[in-house]
A and B are shown apart, each in its own frame.
Chain A
Amino acid sequence: MSNPQQLRYSKEHEWLSAAEDGVATVGITEFAANALGDVVYAQLPDVGSEVAAGETCGELESTKSVSDLYSPVSGEVVEINEDVVNDPSLVNSAPFEGGWLFKVRIAEEPADLLSADEYAAHTAG
C-alpha cells in the first residue's frame, strides 16, 4: 500500500492534509483501515467542537472491534464527512479520498507528525 506523499501522519494512524486557509482534512490510513476490517459505524466529532492533538475525538466500529479515533492536531472541527456517517465502508474503500473523516481549523499541531516515508517505516515493523 502506498501512503500519499503530500500528507502527514500520526503514529496513531491518522493522516492530515496540508492546510488551506488554516483548515486541514483528517482521515485514517489504509494501514489502519485494513487492520480494522470492515468499518460499520463511525462516530465523528461534532462540528464546532474542539479537538486536541493525540486525544480521542470519536470512534470507529468494525465487525470485530471498536477503536478510538484520535485527532492528529488541535483545533476546531468545521465539517464532518456525512458520506462516511451514512456509508462507513468508505473508510475501507477509499481511506485517503472519499473516506476522509473531518476537517479541522488548526490551532496547534504537534511537532512529531510523520512524513509518508517515516510513516511507512513506522508501520513496517
Chain B
Amino acid sequence: MSSSALRHTALDALHRSLGATMTDFAGWDMPLRYGSERDEHNAVRTKAGLFDLSHMGEITVTGPRAADLLNHALVGNIASVGVGRARYTMICREDGGILDDLIVYRLAESEFLVVANASNAQVVLDALTERAAGFDAEVRDDRDAYALIAVQGPESPGILASLTDADLEGLKYYAGLPGTVAGVPALIARTGYTGEDGFELFVKPEHAVELWQALAKAGEGVGLVPCGLSCRDTLRLEAGMPLYGHELSTSLTPFDAGLGRVVKFEKEGDFVGRAALAEAAERAAQNPPRVLVGLVAEGRRVPRAGYPVVAGGQVIGEVTSGAPSPTLGKPIAMAYVDAAHAAPGTPGVGVDIRGTHEPYEVVALPFYKRRK
C-alpha cells in the first residue's frame, strides 16, 4: 500500500513533531515508537504512557432493541451489562470462527459503543449491519467520529484526576462514563491493553491535539511519555492478552482459544454461531484442543509468530506472539501447544528458531500481573 493511501489520525502532525517512527498498521499510519520502545514499555509499567489509538473502530448501536441485536450478533450477554459498564466479548461466524474480539460499552439503556480492532472494523460493521435485520436498532459507523487517546500506567489516575472533575474513584475497571477532561467532552473509560491501570478517552477528532497536549503537560512531572504500538504489543504480551491475527482468528472458536467463558449459552434468544459453538464446547470438553500457554526463553533468541514449538523432536505447537520481555529481561512467547505439553514446567519443550531448538519453560499466563 502506498503511503498516500494510508489514513492519518488527528494527531498525525503531533507525532511527526515528536519524531515518531511511523508504521502502516491496518491501513493507518501509526506511531511505532518515539524513541526506545523498551523505555516506553518500562514507563507504562512504572509511571505512565500516552497512546494514540485512533485507528480502533468505533460502531454505535442504538434503538429500542439495541441490546437484543447485540445479544443476537455477539457471543456475550450484552443485555446484562449495566449502563456505564463495559464487557470484553467476541463476534463469531455461523461456524463458530472468531471474526473479532470487541469491547462493548453500554452508554445508555439503548445505546452501545462497540470497539473493534482496526484491521477488522469493516468486517464487524458489515456483520452487525447484516445481523440488525429485523431488529428495531440502528448500527452506525462512528470510525470518523472519534479519536482515541489512552493514558496507561500507575500514575495515570493522578494525571487524569488533575484534568477532570469526573469521579474516577467511582469508575471501576471495565467501566466508562461521559465527562470533561481538560475542558474537552470525553467518554472516560477505565480500560486498556497494557496490564496496568489506565484510561481510554474517546473524544471528537478536533479535540484530540488539545487533549493530548494537556495530558502530556499534566504528566510531565511524573514521567509520562508518548508510547507507540511497538511497546503496546510487548505490554499486552506480558499481560497475556490475545491479539487478533495472532492468538485469535476465524479458524479458531473461542473454545479453541481457551476463551470459551465469553460464550454465554444461557442468554435469552438465539445468537449467531450458537449451534457450532455448542459443538465446539463439547469437543473441547472431551478432547482438549491445543492450549494457549506462555513460554519463557532460557537463552536470548526471540521466538516469532509461526515458529514451531517442539518436544522430543516432534512439533507440538506453534508460537503465536513472541518478543523480548522488558519486564522479565528474557524473550517470551504465547503459543498453542498440545494439551499433553501444556502444564507449567513440562520438561523438554523448545522452540525451533530458524533451525535451532532453543529450550523454553512452559508457564501459566499471564507473564506479568500488576499489584493491586
Contacts and interface: CB of A to CB of B under 8 A. Distances in A.
Do chains A and B stick together as partners? yes
Nearest to A89: B38
B234 interface: yes
Given A38-B36, A92-B36, A63 B324 contact: yes
Nearest to A85: B300
A111 to B, nearest CB: 32
Given A63-B37, A63-B38, A92-B36, A41 B230 contact: no
A38 B37 contact: yes
Nearest to A61: B302
A61 B301 contact: yes
B230 A64 contact: yes
A37 to B, nearest CB: 6
Interface in B208-246: 230, 234
Interface string A79-123: 000000000010010000000000000000000000000000000
B300 A37 contact: no
Nearest to B299: A41
The B interface is mostly helix, strand or loop, or mixed, namely mixed
Given A63-B37, A63-B38, A63-B324, A37 B304 contact: no
Interface in B22-47: 32-33, 36-38
Residue picked from A40, A63, A66, A92, most chain B C-beta under 10 Å: A63
Interface string A41-77: 1010000000000000000010110100000000000
Interface in B302-344: 302, 304, 323-324, 331
B327 to A, nearest CB: 13
Interface string B332-362: 0000000000000000000000100000000
Given A63-B323, A64-B230, A40 B36 contact: no
Interface of A: 34, 37-38, 40-41, 43, 61, 63-64, 66, 89, 92
The 6 closest A-B pairs by CB, nearest first: A40-B324, A41-B300, A38-B38, A61-B302, A63-B37, A38-B36
13 contacts: A37-B37, A38-B37, A38-B38, A38-B324, A40-B302, A40-B331, A41-B324, A43-B301, A61-B302, A63-B234, A64-B32, A64-B37, A66-B302
